[in-house]
Amino acid sequence: MRLSCPVCDNSAGLEAASDVRDMTVRGESYKVKVEYHRCPKCGEEFVDSSQHDPFKEAYELYRSQHSMLRPEEIRAFRRRYQLTQAELASILGLGGATLSRYETGKLQDETHDTLLRLAMTPANLHDLIAASDALPAARREHLLAAVEQDCDCVSPMERYFRLGVARQEPDEFTGFRRFATDRFVNAILLFAQDGVLKTKLNKLLFYADFLHFRDFAVSITGARYARIPFGPAPEDYDLFFALLVKQQSLTVEEVQFIGFAGGPDVTGERYIAATPSNHSIFSEAELETLLFVKRYFRDYGAHRISECSHEEEGYVRTGPGEWISYEHTSSLRLGRTVPQGQSQ
């Protein structure tokens, strides 16, 4: 486009000139070389901002003076972790346009600069992505994997939960639901609210999932349950409990059972929820099932609920170590009336 004077619209004989001027950025003065044009017709001096933006240069000086991030650094950081502008903006709680302007030279707010710097630490970025519910689950996993290459912020155990178990396809062994870590964890916290023995906890989870499947044709957590000698137990339950203890969501105490009838003393683990269960992730019907199972077995000890579970069709008809199909629910003795028209 042909350059013309903004005052008189003259485009003939414009003279290019430059000199050093003081420019003020956030109350501080910076000397910047300004290139401008002079109109021979009216005498106006003007800057062609499409070619040269003296403010950009003043901002650069300001950033350097205040050790703030440069636009190239922000862009390089974002690209390193394969984030789009919209994604990084949403993870940080910034507007998409704001981040875009920072990457193209606008001077960032002090607080946004601090925020971006914090996010540039892989462990922090990892937590921010993990906590972001604006991202679709599959995309979040992909981004987390990219960050994890740069940090040891995730234990192999946690990675396994997120990437290994969560990708299992729904089928008759998951109760036709994709395994959902947050559902499983919050069911555990609900049952462990007042303390629960590990063996009993495993049975409570089994009964809640299977009962819900019987009445609504879908499980609550999507967990698979294996037939083990003490009854049905959810897949990798020991790892989950250990992770929750490590995260301080559960506390654990060892309890002693004095041997009776000459038998040996037995120790067991008792879990107590250290954080409240988030009920809001369950539907009304799911929550009702969980509370029903908890109430039903309230006075059952670990031994009694184990015996009870040993008589269930799913347990009887499944080989040792095998997954129990959710289709086996005909023997569940937990009678209850499901309100008509209630959805899953």
Residue type, position 237, single letter: Y
Q: Is 42 in the site for Zn ion (CB under 5 A)?
A: yes
CB burial of 104-120 (b: ≥16 within 10 Å; e: otherwise) equals eebbbeeebbebbbebb
Q: Is 8 in the site for Zn ion (CB under 5 A)?
A: yes
The separation between CA 36 and the C-alpha centre of its own chain, rounded to angstroms, equals 51
Q: Is 39 in the site for Zn ion (CB under 5 A)?
A: yes
Spatial separation of the C-alpha atoms in residues 145 and 148, rounded to whole Å: 5
Closest CB to Zn ion among residues 44, 235: 44
Q: Quote the least distance from Cβ 46 to Zn ion, whole Å.
A: 8
Q: Is 45 in the site for Zn ion (CB under 5 A)?
A: no
Q: Quote the least distance from Cβ 10 to Zn ion, whole Å.
A: 5
| Interface stretch with Zn ion, choices 16-24, 33-41, 155-163, 334-342 (CB under 5 A) | 33-41
Helix (H, G, I), strand (E, B) or coil at 209: helix
Q: Is 138 in the site for Zn ion (CB under 5 A)?
A: no
Which residue blocks in the chain are alpha helix, DSSP H?
A: 54-65, 71-80, 85-92, 96-103, 110-119, 122-131, 137-148, 156-159, 181-191, 198-216, 237-246, 284-296, 302-310, 313-316
Q: Is 266 in the site for Zn ion (CB under 5 A)?
A: no
The footprint of Zn ion on this chain (CB under 5 A) covers a number of residues equal to 8
Longest CA span, the chain: 113
Q: Is 14 in the site for Zn ion (CB under 5 A)?
A: no
Q: Is 3 in the site for Zn ion (CB under 5 A)?
A: no
Closest CB to Zn ion among residues 5, 243: 5
Q: Quote the least distance from Cβ 6 to Zn ion, whole Å.
A: 8
Residues that bind Zn ion (CB under 5 A): 5, 7-8, 10, 39, 41-42, 44
